[in-house]
Amino acid sequence: MSQTAIITGGGSGLGQSTAKKLAEQGINIAVVDIDEEGGQETVEIVKQAGADATFIKADVSKEKEVKNYVDQTVEQFGSIDYFFNNAGISGSGQYFLDTDIEEIDKIVGINLLGALYGMHYVADVMVKNGGGSIVNTSSSAGVIGQDTVVTYSATKHGIVGMTKSMVAEYAKDGLCVNAIAPGPTETPMVKQYFDNNPQMKENAEQGILQKRLGTPEEVAELVTFLLTSNAGYVNGDVIRIDGGFTNTK
C-alpha cells in the first residue's frame, strides 16, 4: 500500500518543494492550502514525479476546515503516514506596538492554532494506526528573539513547545515529531516580507554566516530526511537550517 503525506502550505515555497521530494519517493500527497492556484500547481508537480495527489482548500485557522482536510485524506488514501505541518504567514514587519490587533489575531490563528489543530487531528489518526512522522515548521525566530516579528516569533516559539511536548506524551505510541527552524529562505512569504521591509533583507544577509539566503530545496531535503528515512530515533528535536544565522546568538 502506498504511503501518504499531508502538507499544509503546500501551494508554494517549502511545502511545494517538499511535495516534489516526497513524490519522487512514490509518496502520495494531500496538498493543503488556501491558494487554489498554487495548490493545483503542486498537484501537477507531484503527478509528474510519479505519485498521486489531491488538493484540499483550507483555512487552517478554522478548526472544521482542518478536520475536513484530515478526513478527506484518510477517505481518499486510507492513511496518513507523514505530516509536514507547515502553513504560516509572517506579517507586515512593523514593530509590535504599531501592529494592529487584527494582524496579531491572524498570525496566531494561522501559525499556532492552525498547527495545533493539524497536530490534534493528524496525530489522532497516526496513534490509532500505530504511529507516524511529523515535521513542524518553526523558524530562526522560534529559537532566538528578532525585531519586527514579535507575534510571528511568539507563534514559532510555540511550535517548538508543541513539538517537544507531543513527544513527551506520544513517543511511546509510535509518534515521531520534530521541528525545523529555517533562517531567511527564498520563499514567496519571505520575498513579500523583504519587499515590505528592504532593510531587513540586507540585515539578514549580513547576519547569515554563509552570506546568502537558503533555498526551499535545501529545506525540503531536511524535511524529507526527517519524515521518511531511518531518522526515527531523532525525536522531539528542533533542527536549525539557517546558514549559521543563529549560530552566535
pLDDT digits (tens, 9 = 90+) for 186-244: 887 777 777 776 666 676 777 788 888 889 999 999 999 999 988 899 999 999 999 99
pLDDT at 200: 67
Separation between Cα atoms, residue 248 and residue 164, nearest integer Å: 23
Whether 152 is catalytic: yes
pLDDT at 209: 85
* E-only strand ranges, 27-166: 28-33, 53-57, 82-85, 132-137
Characterize the bridge pairing of strands 4-8 and 28-33.
parallel
* E-only strand ranges, the chain: 4-8, 28-33, 53-57, 82-85, 132-137, 175-182, 238-241
Joined grid coordinates for residue 59: 483555512
Residue 140 and residue 152 in contact, taking contact as beta carbons nearer than 8 Å: no
Which pTM value belongs to this model? 0.95
Separation between Cα atoms, residue 219 and residue 140, nearest integer Å: 13
> Nearest Cα to 180, choosing from 247, 114, 238, 141?
238
Q: Extract the residue ranges of the chain whose pLDDT is less than 50.
A: none
> Nearest Cα to 26, choosing from 60, 3, 1?
3
Q: Which of 69, 121, 152, 170 is catalytic?
A: 152
pLDDT at 233: 94
Joined grid coordinates for residue 116: 495545533
What's the CATH fold of domain 4-241?
Rossmann fold (3.40.50)
